[in-house]
Structures are given as structure tokens and as C-alpha cells.
Amino acid sequence: MATTKLITWSTASAWGRSKPPKSRKPLLKHSEDIRQIGSTTLFFALLLFSWLRFSSPFSGGLLSIVIWLALIQLSFMGAVATHNAIHTPLFRSRGLNSLYQIFLSLQYGFPVSVFVPGHNLSHHKYPQQARDIMRTTKVRYRWHFLNGALFFWHIVLTGSDDDKRYFAAQARLNRPIARQRRLEEVAVLSFTAALILLDWRRFIWFALIPTSYAKYCILTLNMLQHDGCDITSKYNFARNFTGSVINYLCFNNGYHTVHHLYPGLHWSALPKKHQELIAPHIAPNLDEPNILTYMWRTFVWPGIRVDWRGKPLILTKEEIEMKDEPWFYEQEETYSKNEEYLAEGMK
């Protein structure tokens, strides 16, 4: 009686037959990033639709107003997606990551590689210290509303020199980020010039205003997330906004403490890790369920600047007199690893 012989792939290979095809890895490292790519795609789709259909946000009735507001929100989502992308690149391919950053630069209205020196290397490494160009103690108006409203301008007007020194050093060392920034710069300038030449009024309504809002809000968020917090504490150095709506729209950017401690952790994992690692230890005042009520209470009524305990904030002499300190501009590290990172002075 004949016996049936099972042929394994190794046996088949020995007989000259082909090996099983290797499974191809997906382009994205995390499937959740489809949401980020979707928001970028929707931004450009609505920009094109608005440009072709309307002369202003008010020329098409309710529809044009709604689409304009959506463009503003989507541009801000592009700013948050930029923040996520410079910590944890979306694609396995360097080329695709470079291309995506160019599209993000158009959505944000500025070369997004500039996030690296100001955010990763300054703010993440030295939060609220002299080498943090975005520390909230730079604004000290008696009326706290002005601290929130003008924080953006104080940071923009004092932080550009560090960016220039960083990219000059990176260009001198022929690092990839210098070339990437130039690509983004050329793309943004070309896109902006083309839109202005086509119709400068439409450019203001449908491109300049949304991207300006994105820049203003992503930087002002720093005021909400760090002002009055305890920079010496592992858990109380940042404020979190845990509402489901804001975190859906902003890719979990509200979970700020765990992001600082694990800057390379993907944004989709932040809510779970916040509950596991931060919530049991953080001061209750630093877990805010609603960002809008926090803003009203903090900047409007009663409008009192408070510390992490909920008491009126009193800045120290050191904080008031603190001057910006230069830092090492030639480094390659971007403080985006998965292991825990404690800033200097934390315990």
C-alpha cells in the first residue's frame, strides 16, 4: 500500500520549489495613525472645496461657515499630529515620514522640523527651567487673562535665536534634519506664494487664519499644561485634560504627564498608561475633566492664577529673574524614547 508523504517547505525548497512568500510589514507602525493621516487628507480636501466654491467663509451661508470652522480645527489637529510625528514617526519608511512632514508643514503653515529644538530638546529636557524657552513664568501680568492671551507672543519673540543656532549646527554637521527643514521651508514658501498669487483674499480666509490659529493654540497649550505645576515632582509637573471629546479631536494630547515621562510612547496608548502610571499618584487638581471650564475658571472668572494645590500662585525671585540659557545645539538626541525620562531636578 502506497504511503502519502507530507512535503514541508524545507523539503520543497530542497527539490527546487519556491519558498513561501514573506509577509510584508504594513506601512504604518501603528494602525491608529490612519486617523492622523485622515485629518490631513480632509484638511486639503476642504481647502480645495472652499477655494473653488466660496470667496469667503460668509459667501455660502451656513455651509461655508461650517467648512471654514472645520478647516480651523483641522489645522490645529495638524499641529497636534506634528507634535506626535516628531516624537514617534508614523511610517517605517524614512522617505514616507519625510513626505508626510512636508504635508504637515502645509497644514500647519510652517516647517514642522522646527518643533524639534523648541519642543523636544528645550521643553522636554528642561521643563519650566532656564533652558526651556517655553516656560510659563515668562508671563507675569497681574490680570491672568493677559498671561494666557499673550503667552504665545512672549515665546515667539524670545525663542527664534535658539532655533537658528540649532539648525546652523545641524547643517554644519550635514545632519538629515537640516535637509528636511529646507525641504519643508521650500514647500511652505512655494505653496503660500501660489495661493497668494491665485487669490490673496481666499488665502487669508482659508489658509492664513486656520494655520495662524493652529500655531497660536498649540503653543498656548503649554500655558494650560504647565503653569503653576511642581517642576520637582515626578507626577505633579504637568496638568492633564482627560475629557473624551478633546482627546479624540487632539489625539490624546490631554494626557500630558505620561507623555513627558515616556515621550516615545505612541499617542494611542496614553489614556491607558495615564490610568496605570499617573492617576494613582498625581494631585487631584492636575487631572482636569474639561478644558473649557478650566480655561473659564482660570482666565475669566474668577481668573486667579493658581498652583498645583489650587492656591494662588506666587512666583519665586528665581523664577522672575530667570533668563534663557543656551543649550547644546549639536546633539542628535530628540528625547523620544520609550523608557522613562525624568528631567533634571525631578524626583
Confidence of residue 331 (pLDDT cuts 50, 70, 90): confident
Confidence of residue 32 (pLDDT cuts 50, 70, 90): very high
Peptide linkage before 302 cis (omega within 30 of 0): yes
Q: Are 210 and 72 in contact (CB under 8 A)?
A: yes
- Out of 67-76, 155-164, 317-326, pick the least confident: 155-164
Question: Sign (positive/negative) of CA torsion 124, 211, 269, 308?
Answer: positive
Residue 278: exposure state from Cβ atoms within 10 A (0-12, 13-18, ≥19): buried
Whole-model pTM? 0.89
Angle at 282 between CA 279 and CA 145, to 5 degrees: 115
Mean pLDDT within 277-283: 96
Confidence of residue 335 (pLDDT cuts 50, 70, 90): low
- 3-class SS at 312? strand
Backbone angles phi, psi at 312, to 5 degrees: -55, 130
Q: Are 81 and 106 in contact (CB under 8 A)?
A: no
Q: What is the dihedral of CA 288, 294, 295, 300, to 10 degrees?
A: -160
Average pLDDT, the chain: 90
Residue 231 has pLDDT above 80, yes or no: yes
Distance CA 99, CA 319 (A): 41
In the structure grid, which three cell numbers stand for residue 280, read together? 494613582
pLDDT number for residue 20:
57
| Residue count (the chain) | 347
Mean pLDDT within 263-274: 96
Confidence of residue 11 (pLDDT cuts 50, 70, 90): very low
The neighbour count for residue 271, using CB atoms within 10 Å, is 16
Distance CA 319, CA 315 (A): 6
